[in-house]
Amino acid sequence: MRVVGRWAEVMLLVRRCWVPQLAGRRPRCSCQSPAGLGGSSGGKDSRGSRVREKPPWRVLFLGTDHFARETLRALHAARDNKEEKLIERLEVVTVPSLSPKGLPVKQYAIQSQLPVYEWPDVGSGEYDVGVVASFGRLLSEALILKFPYGILNVHPSCLPRWRGPAPIIHTVLHGDTVTGVTIMQVRPKRFDIGPILKQETIPVPPKSTSKELEAVLSKLGANMLISVLKSLPESLNNGRPQPAEGVTYAPKVSAGTNCVKWEEQTSEQVLRLHLAIGNIIPLQTLWLENTIKLLDLVEVNSSILADPKLTGQTVTPGSVVYHRQSQMLLVHCKDGWIGVRSVMLKKTLTATDFYNGYLHAWYQKNPHTHPSQCRFQTLRLPTKMHQKTKLLLCNSALSDLGSTLAQR
């Protein structure tokens, strides 16, 4: 009876430690260690198994996309490293996908012959710690408590900046010059609020796309996670709460966001938007009642802007000019010009092809019409169509989804 009573006390302590911060008090992380759980090295978890104080760990990984795949790859390599003996067992959970191939994490798990489950199935094995990366599902307290060391999250931002499912997209979209990765403990019911175990920052490379930045951060996050796992009890004990200041959110981005608002957005904002989501779903606009996708956007350099044709006159936002020397379409935004090298109108066209096949022909047919009548206009999706075709973009967006949409 004393053993049963002792275990009840232990579980009560564990549950208290998982309650989010209340009344300004910091949750104690020491209960995550075996000593905190069982009071001695002989402690046991909720299934009666002995809690391990040091590696090798039994790990359940939950993830979906390319960012998460890099973390899984690092865990897999650590499992196969027999000299270091960091991971003994590795199993995988992902979410269902419309793609027959499945998400990148599932593809890697199958290729590597790792046990893989589809959410909400998390298997029935015994694990020491869970790891989450780009999973996009709230985890219950009951699930978290199945792991003696809880669940760790590999998050691609410097928390508390950019909490939420699309931190990399918002980093690029808002022109951040510094970003990073945070390894944190998962708390139930809310995303990205748990204690920080490890955090590293890096400069954002100029003009990098979200895809390019994801590749850099995924490797950094994977290495950081392995470092935390090597000293897991100590890392948990040294966890620190997230600052109350500097909290920002990175919600999913709806499909309507890719409709360029020429009258409202500056050239820098349009370029950032392209860098942030263009590799997932191209920006689009309206030209003579035809929807055009803008595939390759670039900043216009000062030598082009000095062209007399572009200066000394009032230009309507959305106005399109073909610049022969640079072989680009120049489109006027709220404050200046942005370059477009290729578009899609029925098929992919270079700027030169679009000018020869469409712009030049229009000017020949309408020689006395003001050029502003041939401008790009903001595409405004009808409410019903917007709801029907709504696409939510986050870091776990499928790469094949982006290519499929670009071909439509």
Q: What CATH number does residue 83 fall under?
A: 3.40.50.170
* Residue 49, pLDDT score: 64
Has residue 162 been placed in a domain? Answer: yes
Has residue 372 been placed in a domain? Answer: yes
Torsion sign (Cα): 41, 42, 45, 46 = negative
* Residue 369, pLDDT score: 72
Pairing type for strands 116-118 and 87-94 reads parallel
Domain identity same for 170 and 125: yes
What H or E segment, with its residue span, contains residue 331?
strand 328-332
Has residue 354 been placed in a domain? Answer: yes
Has residue 325 been placed in a domain? Answer: yes
Average pLDDT, 10 consecutive residues per value, the chain (408 residues): 38 36 34 34 57 95 98 98 96 94 96 98 96 96 97 98 97 98 96 97 97 98 98 98 97 90 97 96 94 97 84 84 94 95 96 94 80 83 52 49 39
Domain identity same for 289 and 222: no
* Residue 75, pLDDT score: 98
* Residue 285, pLDDT score: 97
Last residue of a domain, one of 238, 253, 276: 238
| DSSP assignment of 373-407 | GG--B-----HHHHHHT---B-TT--HHHHHHHHH
* Residue 30, pLDDT score: 35
Domain carrying residue 116: 57-238
3-class secondary structure, 63: strand
- The tally of domains found in the chain comes to 2
* Residue 54, pLDDT score: 95
Domain identity same for 274 and 234: no
Domain identity same for 356 and 209: no
Report yes or no: 155 and 192 within 8 Å, Cβ to Cβ. Answer: yes
Domain identity same for 305 and 230: no
What H or E segment, with its residue span, contains residue 220?
helix 210-230
Domain identity same for 130 and 194: yes
Report yes or no: 124 and 93 within 8 Å, Cβ to Cβ. Answer: no
Distance between CA atoms of residues 136 and 147, nearest Å: 19
Has residue 397 been placed in a domain? Answer: no
Has residue 261 been placed in a domain? Answer: no
Distance between CA atoms of residues 186 and 147, nearest Å: 11
Has residue 45 been placed in a domain? Answer: no
Distance between CA atoms of residues 127 and 201, nearest Å: 30
* Residue 65, pLDDT score: 97
| DSSP assignment of 279-308 | TTS-EEEEETTEEEEEEEEEEPPHHHHT-G
Pairing type for strands 129-133 and 151-155 reads parallel
Domain identity same for 232 and 105: yes
Distance between CA atoms of residues 82 and 59, nearest Å: 16
Domain identity same for 272 and 170: no
Domain identity same for 303 and 216: no
* Residue 162, pLDDT score: 98
User: Does the pTM exceed 0.85?
Assistant: no
Q: What CATH number does residue 302 fall under?
A: 3.10.25
Domain identity same for 284 and 340: yes
Pairing type for strands 57-63 and 87-94 reads parallel
Has residue 366 been placed in a domain? Answer: yes
* Residue 314, pLDDT score: 77
